[in-house]
Amino acid sequence: MKKVLQGNEAIARGAWEAGVTVAAAYPGTPSSEILAEIAKYPEIDAEWSPNEKVAVEVAAGAAFAGTRAMACMKHVGMNVASDAFMTLSYAGVKGGLVVVVADDPFAHSSQNEQDSRNWARFAKVPMLEPGDAQECKDFTKVAFDISEQFDTPVLVKGTTRISHADSLVEEGERKASSMPLGLDRSEIPKHVMVPVNVRVARRVVEKRMRDLEAYADTFPANRMEINDPAVGVIAAGAAYMYAKEVFPQYSYLKLGMVWPLPKKLIADFFKKVKKVIVVEELDPFFETEIKALGYKIFHGKDLIPNIYELSPEIVERSLLGAKYKAPKIRADVDDIPKRPANMCPGCSHRALFYTLKKLGLYVFGDIGCYSLAAAPPLQAMHMNLCMGAGIGLAYGAGKALGAEAVGKVCAVIGDSTFLHAGIPPLMDTVYNKGYATTIILDNRITGMTGLQEHPGTGFTIKGEPANMIDYGQLVKALGVKHVSTVDPYNLKETFETVKTETERDEASVIITENGPCMLHRREKRRFPHPYYSIEVEKCTGCKTCLQLGCPAISWVGGEGVTKKGKKRKGIVSINRLQCPGCGVCAQVCKFESIVPGKA
Amino acid sequence: MNNKVTNILLSGVGGQGAILASNILAHVFVQAGYDVKKSEVHGMAQRGGDVTTHFRYGAQVYSPLIKFREVDFLLAFELLEALRYINYCKDKAAIVINDQKILPPAVTLGFAEYPTDIPATFKKHFKDRVHVVKGQEIALGLGNAQAANVVLVGAFSKLIPEIGDQMWLNALTDLLPKKIRDLNVKAFQKGREAL
């Protein structure tokens, strides 16, 4: 019986069927569901690791000890994991080791749109790229066999449209790996990557890649579909699906293994079809390689964009060129109001960023829901780069600006992001005498990616109680002398504390307390009032509360006068169904027109 | 079963239950023996953004995304989110729209106007194939505004005569926890009656 599974669920299923016993990940869209699903299998020891590098190291340790292990991450997670990964390629594995990396073309939920196929070439490891949920399961499973057969970590690549698409999957049984468990002391030359051993490993890696090239020619998921021989398309993953959708009449070379490329199969394809078109998302990866083999490509990135994600109509429009007939537009919808993501009503981040804006600080931010503070009306985050970067950036800016900037800059970072990559830059700030203030927004969970546990929450992925990081103690141990806490919902107190700390010419840390994510049921904050409402007679229509950007507060136009006779152009209204009663808007109202509602 | 692939675009705002609706569709069309694919962008959607799900069924479905202008059925949970996809629909498309407005930030902040008379814009192009359903009102009548999504699914089900009632009810039974099953069965039936 086939079941409808999401691509990520299918990857989890494939890992389970392959006999995986250890899996580790740091959450990141569009990869997060893989570990959440794996954690449901009792046979697998699953964990949220503090970051992707740790996840790869945990999985590698498990694989060295003989089991099948997996690490999962989004595309940018691979940047963090790469230090471990690049050398792991030399060290090889024992039990099968698969690293899943999920790309996000168009950066739906990311800070860039890098093409992960480049890692396969860079690290000299094979990469498989599924095109639907069935392939997600099958490819994950076979990746473990390839890993053990060729003694190499194997990459499996997802993309948003594969990882987050559901389709039918034929499920199979779990088969435990036949590899014996245990560590082998005699493997020092293979596993200790000092120069003398590295030079030997380099030859092994090159030989392995040649063997894998030969294997790629026989790999069943690299398949030719010969239809009309006039045009042949080389494609993989979602790009194959789009091309097949709009040009079903063409012939295809569908690549299931995207690195190394099957040279003989490619040669054969060029013999069988007249003209070859390469359809691929993001970089001209296949195109560059195939051209380097000496073939002439009829079309590729000359027509197909190398930015953003593809779609059936982009593939069609690009390849048809002038022959493409655009459908007539019925209504111009480009200018209708957009619906950008926003912080939830009652979110503690909104209150904190409102305060930072009041203080006029230049805010070095980080990756998380709080990145939304850069959007209007708050516009209170001025820079962010990658996980953990805000602290180093703030410290570095302080170095350049000197005493000038004391009291003018701060770094802001979420709890999960701080544990991921924020500790070393904070250490540096203290060690090298920086003065930036770091504000840790502790909302008790990894919020943006859908509420995953981390070492600061006190629970594991399986919901078991675990050690809980004490941020105060941690940063004191790093040498931070000035550590304070604030209740972000108390605007006045937060304003004073942030002002005092940022004006110091020494590093300091402020930790937000009692501001759990509004979607986090376990740690819900209880507000004294169920909601707030507007006293219409008092509202002057000054729009100050609208500056919070709270989805529950809206503007209602219409001229009128207040009770005191002041003219106004409209009033605000609070949606009782959306308002959780955080009371922040009542604190910013100068006319006392926002009052607690009754239950 | 014919070979044609049918495309259903579900659009709405995070939290309106479009995902459950698309899960019901998947359950139903798999029971009916079709290949199905559905695709949605997660991530920031639960923070008030717009949400779309591309749902496709047929003998064999390739692309997880529906091609521009190839939507056979638009199932919109919110008026503005219906309008946003008007150009995606085929000329012969049928449209089911929930008669509900959720104001986007530019409107609540007073910078933009919410477009007026969206159903009329649709009727101009799609005539009597436009069905406006008072999903929220009907769901509130049953005691829970959250069931509006299933009201819409009920209304939509009338447009697919080849699928019998029972398959839809099976989907509700299999996908919903017992606690809210009866409510949703009622919501589904009310939705069916609404069309």
DSSP H or E segment with residue A252: strand A250-254
Nearest residue on chain B to A2, judged by CA atoms? B30
Question: Per the structure block, which two tokens stand in for A336?
Answer: 């209708």
- Give the residue extent of every domain in chain A: 2-218, 223-320, 348-512, 532-596
Question: How far is the C-alpha of A84 from the C-alpha of A68, rounded, in Å?
Answer: 18
Q: Is the pLDDT of residue B81 over 70?
A: yes
**CA proximity to A265, closest of A234, A230, A299, A294:** A234
CATH number of B47's domain: 3.40.920.10
State how far residue A520 is from chain B, nearest Cα, in angstroms: 13
**Going by DSSP bridges, is the β-strand pair B6-13/B71-76 parallel, antiparallel, or unpaired?**
parallel
What's the sign of the alpha-carbon dihedral B86, B89, B94, B98?
negative
A420 CB neighbour count, 10 Å cutoff: 28
Whether residues A164 and B40 touch (CB distance < 8 A) is answered with yes
Chain A residues in contact with B85 by the CB 8 A cut-off are: 333
DSSP state of A540: -
The alpha carbons of chain B give a radius of gyration, in whole angstroms, of 16
pLDDT in tens, B55-70: 999 999 999 999 999 9
Q: pTM here?
A: 0.97
Strand order in the sheet with B130-133: A2-6, A165-170, B35-40, B50-58, B6-13, B71-76, B89-98, B130-133
Of B36, B37, B50, the CB nearest to A339: B50
User: Best interface-test mutation with A: which of B11, B37, B174 has the largest number of A CBs within 10 A?
Assistant: B37
Given phi > 0 = left and psi -120 to 50 = alpha, else beta, which region is A77? alpha
Whether residues A339 and B40 touch (CB distance < 8 A) is answered with no
Of B26, B38, B47, the CB nearest to A344: B47
- A2-218 domain in CATH 3.10.300.10? no
Contact predicate A251/A209, CB 8 Å? no
Confidence of residue B137 (pLDDT cuts 50, 70, 90): very high
Which residues lie closer than 8 Å to A42 by C-beta, 6 or more apart? none
DSSP H or E segment with residue A410: strand A409-414
Contact predicate A388/A418, CB 8 Å? yes
pLDDT for A419 equals 98
B1 located within any domain: no
DSSP state of A463: S
Question: How far is the C-alpha of A480 from the C-alpha of A431, rounded, in Å?
Answer: 9
Chain A residues in contact with B51 by the CB 8 A cut-off are: none
Q: Among all chains, which residue has been given the structure tokens 């933009």?
A: B112
Chain A residues in contact with B7 by the CB 8 A cut-off are: none
Whether residues A166 and B84 touch (CB distance < 8 A) is answered with no
State how far residue B182 is from chain A, nearest Cα, in angstroms: 24
Whether residues B64 and A165 touch (CB distance < 8 A) is answered with yes
User: Best interface-test mutation with A: which of B5, B65, B107 has the largest number of A CBs within 10 A?
Assistant: B65
Measured N-to-C along each axis, helices B18-31 and B148-157 cross at an angle, to the nearest 10 degrees, of 30
Chain A residues in contact with B67 by the CB 8 A cut-off are: 245-246, 311-313, 316
**CA proximity to A237, closest of A255, A253, A262, A259:** A255
Whether residues B62 and A336 touch (CB distance < 8 A) is answered with no
User: Best interface-test mutation with B: which of A1, A5, A34, A166 has the largest number of B CBs within 10 A?
Assistant: A166
Whether residues A337 and B48 touch (CB distance < 8 A) is answered with no
B38 located within any domain: yes
Do the two domains A223-320 and A348-512 of this chain adopt the same fold? yes
What's the sign of the alpha-carbon dihedral B90, B91, B97, B99?
positive
Whether residues B47 and A369 touch (CB distance < 8 A) is answered with yes
Instruction: Give residue A187's Cα distance to chain centre.
Output: 36
State how far residue B112 is from chain A, nearest Cα, in angstroms: 7
A412-A414-A417 Cα angle (round to 5): 110
Of A242, A449, A555, the CB nearest to B109: A555
- A532-596 domain in CATH 3.30.70.3270? yes
- A348-512 domain in CATH 3.40.50.970? yes
**CA proximity to A518, closest of A584, A465, A463, A444:** A444
| Segments of chain A scoring below 50 in pLDDT | none
Confidence of residue B45 (pLDDT cuts 50, 70, 90): very low
Q: Among all chains, which residue has been given the structure tokens 């150009």?
A: B87
State how far residue B190 is from chain A, nearest Cα, in angstroms: 24
Of A162, A341, A570, the CB nearest to B44: A341
Q: Is the pLDDT of residue B47 over 80?
A: no
State how far residue A344 is from chain B, nearest Cα, in angstroms: 6
What's the sign of the alpha-carbon dihedral A212, A218, A219, A222?
positive
pLDDT in tens, A397-419: 999 999 999 999 999 999 999 99
User: Best interface-test mutation with A: which of B24, B28, B39 has the largest number of A CBs within 10 A?
Assistant: B39
Whether residues B47 and A164 touch (CB distance < 8 A) is answered with no
User: Best interface-test mutation with A: which of B7, B51, B100, B109 has the largest number of A CBs within 10 A?
Assistant: B109
A535 CB neighbour count, 10 Å cutoff: 15
Chain A residues in contact with B90 by the CB 8 A cut-off are: none
Whether residues B63 and A449 touch (CB distance < 8 A) is answered with no
Confidence of residue B3 (pLDDT cuts 50, 70, 90): low
Contact predicate A193/A88, CB 8 Å? no
Question: Per the structure block, which two tokens stand in for A198?
Answer: 């590295």
Domain region containing B87: 6-194
State how far residue A79 is from chain B, nearest Cα, in angstroms: 20
B47 located within any domain: yes
Contact predicate B155/B168, CB 8 Å? no
The alpha carbons of chain A give a radius of gyration, in whole angstroms, of 27
Nearest residue on chain A to B112, judged by CA atoms? A337
Question: Per the structure block, which two tokens stand in for A178?
Answer: 């036949």
Cα dihedral A161, A167, A169, A175, rounded to 10, equals 30
Whether residues B105 and A372 touch (CB distance < 8 A) is answered with no
Q: What is the total count of domains within chain B?
A: 1
Architecture of the domain defined by A223-320: 3-Layer(aba) Sandwich (3.40)
Contact predicate A8/A34, CB 8 Å? yes
DSSP state of A597: P
Contact predicate A296/A274, CB 8 Å? no
Contact predicate A28/A78, CB 8 Å? no
Whether residues A448 and B65 touch (CB distance < 8 A) is answered with no
Within B62-147, where are the H helices? 79-83, 105-108, 118-126, 135-141
